[in-house]
Structure 1
Amino acid sequence: MSEPLDPAMFHDPDCEDRAQPIRVGGKWTAMVLRCLEDGQPRRFSELRVPLHRITPKVLTETLRTMERNGFLARTEYEENPPRVEYALTELGRSLIGPLDTACSWARAHGPEIVEAREAYRA
């Protein structure tokens, strides 16, 4: 049994949504990558815990796009009730290093990005 995902894993005041200048895939792809980076397959309901700000429809679309792009594998189990799990593929895992680098850069420069965006609006 895998450890449950932390509901607050994306509550980082130093890395606000508005300061994320780098995006991999869709808007939520990087967060799904983070949820799956420990190598444990996760069910949709498990992913919803830390990704509570995403509607189920958008999460479904994100997972389908990531599967289509080869970033994750979807495994269906013929059980009652049916069970589906998602796990990163090797291609998806290869994005973790660049994602770590992008997150470090965003943390270091987040205040500058926010300041520039606020100055632009003014």
Structure 2
Amino acid sequence: MGASGEDMGMPGEGMGGDPFAADCRARIAFEVLANRWDSVVVFVLGENGPMRPRALLARIGGLSPKVLNDALRRLEYNGLVERRRYAEAPPRVDYTLTEAGTALLDPIRALGAWAAVHGDAVLAAQDRFEGSRASNA
């Protein structure tokens, strides 16, 4: 793969259509990370290495085992994590990032840096919006 937009599937380049059109590869990235917990799971696995589900729950906090299981299944379906099963008694399972999952760490860190800089402004805008809606009701 080269650095051209066509090789990397950049929006609107080499696709013969509008940016972010239905056939645009950039949509894959947005769809893969659309669920709020998926990027958190990828980040935690990237920072901590292979982990068992209970360890992920403890490290992340704020989500139920079902929500974590759903996230892990989505990430496995999308090829971002690999489920490793060990023939032990009791059975043991852990999850690790694939090459594709590891490649997402830099963009996730960039989003985190953006949120650190602009998060207060976003929250203030949300508060203003909700306040204006309440006063107009």
State the TM-score, normalized to the length of structure 2. Answer: 0.69
Counterpart for residue 10 of structure 2 = none
Counterpart for residue 71 of structure 2 = 62
RMSD: 1.4
Query: Which amino acid in 2 is paired with 1:93?
Result: T
- Equivalences for residues 11-22 of structure 1 within 5 A: none
Residue by residue over 1:53-101, the C-alpha shift from the partner in whole angstroms, topping out at 9 and shown as x without a partner, is: 1110110000000000001000111111000010000000111011111
Displacement of 1:39 after TM fit?
Answer: 6.0
SS of residue matched to 1:42: coil
Counterpart for residue 90 of structure 1 = 99
The answer to whether 1:81 aligns with 2:81 is: no
Which of 61, 82, 85 is 1:52 aligned to? 61
- Indicate the structure whose relative CO is greater, using CA pairs within 8 Å and at least 6 residues apart: 1
Runs of 4+ deviating beyond 3 Å: none
Counterpart for residue 20 of structure 1 = none
SS of residue matched to 1:57: helix
Contact preservation (8 Å) 1:74, 1:86? yes
Show structure 2 runs of 5+ residues with no match.
Answer: 1-31, 132-137
Show structure 1 runs of 5+ residues with no match.
Answer: 1-22
Displacement of 1:42 after TM fit?
Answer: 0.6
Aligned residues: 100
Distance 1:47 1:106 in 2: 23
Q: By percentage of residues, which structure has more helix?
A: 2
Aligned-residue identity in percent: 34
Counterpart for residue 34 of structure 1 = 43
Contact preservation (8 Å) 1:43, 1:84? yes
State the TM-score, normalized to the length of structure 1. Answer: 0.77
